[in-house]
Structure 1
Amino acid sequence: MTRTTMSPELVDVSDDASLLRTTFALFPSGIVMLSALIDDVPVGLVASSFQVGISADPPLVLFAVQHTSTTWPTLRRATRLGVSVLSGLHRSAVGRMSAKSGDRFAGIDTFTYETGAHFVGGAAAHLECSIHAEIRAGDHDVVLMEVHRMGSDPSTEPLVWHGSTLRSLTPPEPTH
């Protein structure tokens, strides 16, 4: 049996830019730090526009970055990028990691591989990637990245961006 519910009123996207941002914010997404050593200095940016499972052969992930980013032009020079899926441990540091100025990694446990891929410690997952393709898309670029190496800690809860707020997932109830 199909049940009919009251549908929301749809408004034209061009009528209200703030409503568009509010609506997009209702889609929960993980938060990642993309980082690498550039001229022996860690450079990174925080993104909530990250997606896994784009392709298994080759293994591809993607994220979107605004054309106005001042970090991406430097970071994209890296041969390998570290992607750290941030966890609840990083909640208080996300503001610093996404700041426009200052040391984004101050007081944060990090490590770097010989490839220059730079990672945040305590993350739920780490992916070492290279840029596969960049596609212009409106006011952003969509960056496809090929995954070369990875590691994860399934017991670590990821940090989630939903409703313009940082949230944690509720751990599943234990089974008996």
Structure 2
Amino acid sequence: MSFTQVSSPEPVDFDGADALKRAFREHPAGISLITAQTSDGPVGLTASSVASVGIDPPALSFSVTRATGSAGGILSADSYLVHLLDNRHASIAQLFAVSGSDRFTADQGWTHLETGEPFLRNTRVALRCRTLHTLGVGSSVIVVAEVLGAHFGSSSAPMVYHDRVFHSLPWQNPDLN
């Protein structure tokens, strides 16, 4: 295999937060919706930071920007769901990414699991989790969560967040092969 040298513009240097924002804005990430039930009602947020951590125990990680509002509700919940979204859910991912938007409406397809968490039907998978560890980093909190179980649905084309836009990726349904 050979690589072709490609000329590129002169590098532009950024410092600190601006460098991080620019670097990750141009790095595609999967999209998840994290939901929990609180005494004040259901809460949820869109996350592009969900990652697998390990299998013994089965664990994932994510980060939230602050420990208030929906993030605070999730951090204080005994358990929550991490829905791994696909291209069918771009509009709901956008709604849950904006504070004050209409959430958990009947037409969005919500129900509750027997354990109480708000569950978005028709998602590829929703992982039921509980927090194992948290680490404060400035105004953000990194969460390591144990995966307690999963609710699998049908698959569709993957969706990624890239340069502040949700994009659908090419996909071939494995059930049709």
Contact 2:122 2:154 in 1 (8 A): no
Equivalent residue for 2:63? 64
Contact 1:129 1:148 in 2 (8 A): yes
How far, CA to CA, are the matches of 1:111 and 1:173 in structure 2? 26
C-alpha distance 74-23 of structure 1, shift in aligned 2 (>3 A) = same
Q: Displacement, 1:104?
A: 1.5
Q: Secondary structure at the match of 2:54?
A: strand
Gap runs ≥5 in structure 1: none
Question: Does 1:82 pair with 2:81?
Answer: yes
Equivalent position amino acid for 1:171 in 2 = W
Matches for 1:105-124 after TM superposition, within 5 Å = 105-106=104-105, 107-124=107-124
Q: Displacement, 1:102?
A: 4.1
Question: Does 1:162 pair with 2:167?
Answer: no
Equivalent residue for 1:14? 15
C-alpha distance 39-15 of structure 1, shift in aligned 2 (>3 A) = closer
CA displacement 1:96-151 (0-9 Å, x = unmatched): 22221143122311122232222211111110000011112344211111000013
Equivalent position amino acid for 1:23 in 2 = A
Contact 2:110 2:118 in 1 (8 A): yes
Matches for 1:8-157 after TM superposition, within 5 Å = 9-14=10-15, 17=18, 20-39=20-39, 41-52=41-52, 54-67=53-66, 69-106=68-105, 107-153=107-153, 155-157=155-157
Equivalent position amino acid for 2:91 in 1 = S
How far, CA to CA, are the matches of 1:160 and 1:64 in structure 2? 17
Equivalent position amino acid for 2:43 in 1 = V
C-alpha distance 41-21 of structure 1, shift in aligned 2 (>3 A) = same
Equivalent position amino acid for 1:51 in 2 = A
**CA RMSD after TM alignment:** 2.7
TM-score, normalised to structure 2, is 0.83
C-alpha distance 144-7 of structure 1, shift in aligned 2 (>3 A) = farther
Please identify which structure carries the higher helix content: 2
Gap runs ≥5 in structure 2: none
Identity %: 29
C-alpha distance 147-101 of structure 1, shift in aligned 2 (>3 A) = same
Count residues with an aligned counterpart: 174
